[in-house]
A and B are shown apart, each in its own frame.
Chain A
Amino acid sequence: MRPILEIQGVTKRYGWQVALRDVSLQLPSGKVVGLLGPNGSGKSTLIKSLLGLVSVDSGQGRVLDFQWPRQVRIVRDHVGYLPEDDCYIESLQGIESIQMMARLSGLRRTEALRRAHEVADFCDMGQERYRTVDTYSTGMRQKLKFAQALVHDPEWLILDEPTTGLDPAQREQLLDRILVLAREKGKSILLSTHILHDVQRVCESVVILVGGQVRLIDSLENLQRPSRAGLQISVVSDADLLKQSLDKLGVAATRVGSGELRVDGEGEEVLRAIWRASSESGVLVQRVDPFRNSLEQTFLDAVASKEVANAHS
């Protein structure tokens, strides 16, 4: 499938400060891609550049079926943007805000209102849609921004910190909606966030941006796959006792945290050894999972490393 975004050599400077340095990027279509990076890494600048909200010093490419940055205004008709900032139009009702955004994207007045209600229902805005936006809680404003980003049925959604300010239940619901849009409705989604749990929950690929440069692009599956196979064991009591028993049985095990062990190898033989060691040591095994690299560690490694990893998924 044709990538949703292909850009090459994008550089953006603010005076002497380089916000984006020769960024080249290719994002798959119909997938949820996480955009990660520490503060000041250029994520928001990249998003604003893609939308033409800031002009770039160099670089070109394609967004959807349009030349970028030459046709950036047309691009905005086909992209839904949820800004990181708490932004709203004072004194407008929620539903009026959504309708206005629909009209700004080219829907006619009545159709915009109909569509606004449809999207407000999808975003579970309830009767609060009739309240003025100024009175909304942070969570409601996030829902409103999500509805505004969706109302014109964009092909590509750019969500900048969409779960900020949501309580755990609302966050899960929003992530579910993102998954519905991507998996059932075929939307392409770029999710910029600091919350690695959100990335693990919904993203299929990850882009890590550090110091205005792309440090890593890969699928989440590849990133989480360990260099060698292994199992992660969580125990209820003393993990060291279990480790001693495993050592006696000739299975190499290492402590990876409080109450956790990592065992090299997979398969029935290893599993049998674990149950036997558990029985012999009297240590209760709570769960056994295939070992996966932690995304947090991958992120920290990518931030610390100097080299650009370009393992396209």
Chain B
Amino acid sequence: MPILDVGYRPWQGQRTARWTRSLVLAETSIRLVWRNPWLKRILLFMTTPALIVGIFVALFEQTIERQATRSAMTQFLRSPATQRAAERAGIEDLNLREDPQTARHFAWSYLIFILFRYPQAFGMILVLGLVAPRLISFDLRSKGYLLYLSRPLTPWEYIAGKAAVIYFLLFLMAAVPSLLIYLSGLFLSTDTSAFMHTWDIPLRILLATLVLMIPTTAIALAMSALTQESRYAGFAWFAFWIIGAVSYQVLWFADQARRGERPQRMEYLGDYNSWMLFSPYETLGYMQMQIFGLTQGEPFVWGPWMVAGVISILGYIIAHRRVARMLKA
């Protein structure tokens, strides 16, 4: 019992703008997923690769100025994988001494791309597999969507609010560490013109994060909306990435075998081939490579963009239709 029961009292006050209401949904959903201790542990663990890349960037900057450490960095730049990546980026001679500007831009972009491509991408699959399946399926099971939509929210705004949860996590996982690495590189550089050589990298980081966010969120929300059991959505999420990657590898190797070619070495794995479109992981990776300017030595291909675009549109439409259809039940 309350100490002082004032009964029912009318309320009068100024209401917030209607467009902010989906932010309330997003904020509540973020607060809920943040209560998961495993999410915090994984996010903390994922700072390790970012720290390693940060140390690499710092070392690179120190190396440019110091003769003693330059040879070690030159070895790294001369490795077959780096040389092939430089070729793809349209850099004929990656020379640290003669053209430090080009070398710096390439090295920073390449290191940050590697961070995006491997640890952050795997981390993204793991984190979204933990969080995203519950986003809509829990609401469908507990009919929570009725509560949201009985307020001035449309099904699209509901989807946007849920998508914001994934956007937030991906921004935290992908963009924030990369931007911090970039900033630490700038502050640790002894060359004051470093900013002038790399000013476009933050923009590329943001664009690469956006490219990661939009299709993966669409896929995750569609899977979550298709079932009331989040474990099925979680299973489908991991299966989607694994089956895609395995299909790509099998088809690619089979294609090479059919043509009587020897399987290509690891440094050629980043090269574009149309089988890549079967694997969402490879497709997104190639798009990020394009964004970081690491394919400038090759003709621009639109295939991955079209596949990602179609998947995104389909994903958001499926999620919307499921929510809108539940209202008719």
The one of B2, B18, B147, B153 that contacts A87, using a Cβ cutoff of 8 Å: B147
Residue A229 CB within 8 A of the other chain? no
Q: Is the CB of B9 within 8 A of A118?
A: yes
Q: Is the CB of B6 within 8 A of A185?
A: no
Name the B residues within 8 Å of A83 (CB-CB).
143, 146-147, 150
Give the dominant DSSP class at B's interface: loop
Q: Is the CB of B151 within 8 A of A53?
A: no
Q: Is the CB of B144 within 8 A of A90?
A: yes
Name the A residues within 8 Å of B25 (CB-CB).
104
Q: Is the CB of B149 within 8 A of A122?
A: no
B21, B32, B142: residue with the most chain A Cβ atoms closer than 10 Å: B142
The one of A54, A92, A148, A180 that contacts B8, using a Cβ cutoff of 8 Å: A180
Q: Is the CB of B18 within 8 A of A73?
A: yes
The one of B8, B21, B151, B327 that contacts A122, using a Cβ cutoff of 8 Å: B8
What is the bound-complex CA distance between A83 and B144, given in angstroms? 10
Residue B7 CB within 8 A of the other chain? yes
Q: Is the CB of B5 within 8 A of A89?
A: no
Q: Is the CB of B147 within 8 A of A88?
A: yes
A119, A121, A181: residue with the most chain B Cβ atoms closer than 10 Å: A121
Give the shortest distance, in Å, between B197 (CB) and chain A (any CB). 44
Name the A residues within 8 Å of B2 (CB-CB).
121
Known: A103-B24, A121-B6, A185-B8. Contact between A85 and B143, CB under 8 A? yes
Contact with A along B1-33 (1 / 0, CB 8 A): 110011111111101101001001100100010
Residue A74 CB within 8 A of the other chain? yes
Residue A48 CB within 8 A of the other chain? yes
B1, B13, B150: residue with the most chain A Cβ atoms closer than 10 Å: B150
Interface residue count on the B side (C-beta < 8 Å): 37
Name the B residues within 8 Å of A101 (CB-CB).
147, 151
B2, B25, B152: residue with the most chain A Cβ atoms closer than 10 Å: B152
CB proximity to B under 8 Å, residues A54-95: 54, 73-74, 76-77, 81, 83, 85-92
Interface residue count on the A side (C-beta < 8 Å): 46
Name the B residues within 8 Å of A267 (CB-CB).
none
Residue B154 CB within 8 A of the other chain? yes
CB nearest to A44 among chain B residues = B329
Known: A87-B143, A88-B142. Contact between A54 and B15, CB under 8 A? no
Q: Is the CB of B327 within 8 A of A48?
A: yes
Q: Is the CB of A104 within 8 A of B148?
A: yes
| 22 CB < 8 A contacts A-B | A53-B146, A54-B327, A73-B152, A77-B18, A86-B142, A87-B147, A90-B142, A91-B32, A92-B28, A96-B28, A100-B24, A100-B28, A103-B21, A104-B24, A104-B25, A104-B152, A105-B15, A107-B13, A107-B16, A153-B11, A184-B8, A185-B10
Please give me the 8 A-B residue pairs with the lowest Cβ-Cβ distance, nearest first: A106-B15, A87-B143, A153-B11, A104-B151, A121-B2, A81-B150, A103-B24, A73-B152
Beyond A89-B142, A152-B11, 17 additional contacts (C-beta under 8 Å) are A83-B143, A83-B147, A85-B146, A89-B32, A90-B142, A96-B28, A100-B28, A104-B21, A104-B25, A104-B152, A105-B152, A106-B16, A107-B15, A119-B8, A122-B8, A148-B147, A185-B8
